[in-house]
Amino acid sequence: MDTYLKTARTTPKRLGERASYDADLVHSVLDEAYVCHLGFVVDGEPRVLPTLHVRVGDVIYLHGSTGSRALLAARDGGVQVCVTVTLLDGLVLARSQFHHSANYRSVVAHGTARLVTDAQERERAFAALVDKVAAGRSADSRPGNAKELAQTAVLALPLREVSAKIRTGGPIDDEQDLPLPYWAGVVPLTLVAGPVEPAPDVLVPVPAYLRPAATGWQGAPTLRGRHVVIEPLDHAHSAGLFAALDDAEVWTHLTVARPGSAAEMATIVAAAIKDPTRVPFVQRDPDNGQILGSTSYYAIDEARRSIAIGHTMLGRPHWRTAINTESKLLLMAHAFDTLGAIRVEWHTDIRNERSQRAIARLGAEREGVLRSHRQRPDGSWRDTVCFAMLTGEWLAARERLTSALEAGAR
């Protein structure tokens, strides 16, 4: 269906020029919105309830309780309903108070909603509702049991009498108001997902479908090699990291103090994940999944096409092994070949001679020292040695490091 039928109930009485019966527009609004309002009449009294919905083709499925008045009324041949959805896109401020408005996209649907009783249709509707909340979630969560399903009902409303209404653009002031000394314009509004907040007792990492897309300079891709897998750092990695890094020498030259427990490590992990200047990763054994350490991108400057690799904490048994070499190779390859970086940097404590030698072995050039650059956990200020590799130096370094890995060099 390309357009919906225009009826008396779907024709706006005011500003009818903003109405649309285009099916694609109607569907896009219904699909973007998470919450709808279900209006109906019971015993002569109006009811309007907020609820979850999902569109499947030309049907809206509405979630509800088997004890709700709308669901009870729908048992006898259906219930007359009005379903509305509104997406608020901006606040429109005019010079006159009368012409203040809002930019929005809305849908109003009328019809007879039926109670879904077919077991297979109910199952499909429940899965669609869960996937509307988070795509892929229905396959990554426990389905309802008999008791839960008995308490939950679904209404189905065919999309027949339906229309959209939209407003876009700036304020529409009267001509005589244009010289008035008042600001006018639009305040855009968007619904944006914030960082996920895992439950304190969750034992698995945040699933991929809840993570931001691993694209761009702030993305956290999963990088796979023969000796190591690098994946986004997660709160669930805290205990494994604590076990892998429980060695005083690992923390000697780091800018955070050695944690004394998995709970203290969780605080360090949480800070790394929350830090907007970092893209943190965990390093795993590709064969058994064991956590080996952590590393990060940071000092990200897309405009200058520059990025740093650091905050590296690797379990002591893996120092001077293929794991560390391949980790850096994977991170450099993503930076140079995927992101298009022209410069990759490393920074290390001037007292950490082992780290300086390791960075030099990668092929990076020592560029200088930043004095009193970062504070150590003991309160002293460290001088930081700066290294960098440029895109013109990357090809030779990649070939040399790849050959060394293939030869089994340690």
Question: Strand 229-232 vs strand 223-224: parallel, antiparallel, or unpaired?
Answer: antiparallel
Of 161-165, 193-197, 395-399, which range is least confident? 193-197
Please classify residue 72 by burial: count the beta carbons closer than 10 Å to its beta carbon, then call 0-12 exposed, 13-18 middle and 19+ buried.
Answer: middle
Q: Where are the domains of the chain?
A: 8-188, 208-406
HEC letters along 307-326? EEEEEEEECHHHCCCHHHHH
Per-residue pLDDT for 134 more than 70?
yes
The proportion of the chain whose per-residue pLDDT surpasses 70, expressed as a percent, equals: 97
| Calpha distance 283→46 (Å, rounded) | 58
Instruction: Report the 10 Å Cβ neighbour count for 169.
Output: 10
Exposure string of 291-320, with b = 16+ CB inside 10 Å and e = fewer, is bbbbbbbbebeeeebbbbbbbbbbbeebee
- Residue 251's contacts (CB-CB under 8 Å, 6 or more residues apart) are 245, 257, 258, 313
DSSP per residue, 355-402:
HHHHHHHHTPEEEEEEEEEEE-TTS-EEEEEEEEEEHHHHHHHHHHHH
| Calpha distance 143→128 (Å, rounded) | 12
Section 77-106 average pLDDT: 95
Per-residue pLDDT for 61 more than 80?
yes
- Residue 12 carries which DSSP code? -
CATH topology identical between 8-188 and 208-406: no
Per-residue pLDDT for 248 more than 80?
yes
Confidence of residue 1 (pLDDT cuts 50, 70, 90): low
Per-residue pLDDT for 128 more than 90?
yes
CATH of domain 208-406: 3.40.630.30
Of 123-132, 300-309, 318-327, 400-409, which range is least confident? 400-409
Confidence of residue 273 (pLDDT cuts 50, 70, 90): very high
**CA 145 from centre of chain:** 30
- Residue 88's contacts (CB-CB under 8 Å, 6 or more residues apart) are 102, 103, 104, 189
Section 171-191 average pLDDT: 96
Residue 94 has what pLDDT?
97
Query: pTM of this prediction?
Result: 0.77
| pLDDT, tens digit, 9 for 90 and up, residues 316-363 | 999 888 999 999 999 999 999 999 999 999 999 999 999 999 999 999
Confidence of residue 70 (pLDDT cuts 50, 70, 90): low
| Most confident among 66-75, 149-158, 329-338 (mean pLDDT) | 329-338
Residue 195 has what pLDDT?
83
Using DSSP's 3-state secondary structure scheme, residue 303 falls into coil
8 A C-beta contact, residue 53 and residue 133 = no
| pLDDT, tens digit, 9 for 90 and up, residues 210-240 | 887 777 899 999 999 999 999 999 999 999 9
Residue 64 has what pLDDT?
81
| Calpha distance 315→284 (Å, rounded) | 11
Per-residue pLDDT for 410 more than 70?
no
CATH of domain 8-188: 2.30.110.10
Per-residue pLDDT for 409 more than 60?
no
8 A C-beta contact, residue 331 and residue 295 = yes
Section 403-409 average pLDDT: 80
Per-residue pLDDT for 382 more than 80?
yes
DSSP per residue, 317-363:
GGTTSHHHHHHHHHHHHIIIIIS--SEEEEEEETT-HHHHHHHHHHT
Residue 407 has what pLDDT?
82
Tokens representing 219 are 């993305």
| pLDDT, tens digit, 9 for 90 and up, residues 185-214 | 999 999 988 888 888 888 899 998 888 777
Mean per-residue pLDDT of the chain? 92
Residue 67 has what pLDDT?
67
Section 73-90 average pLDDT: 87
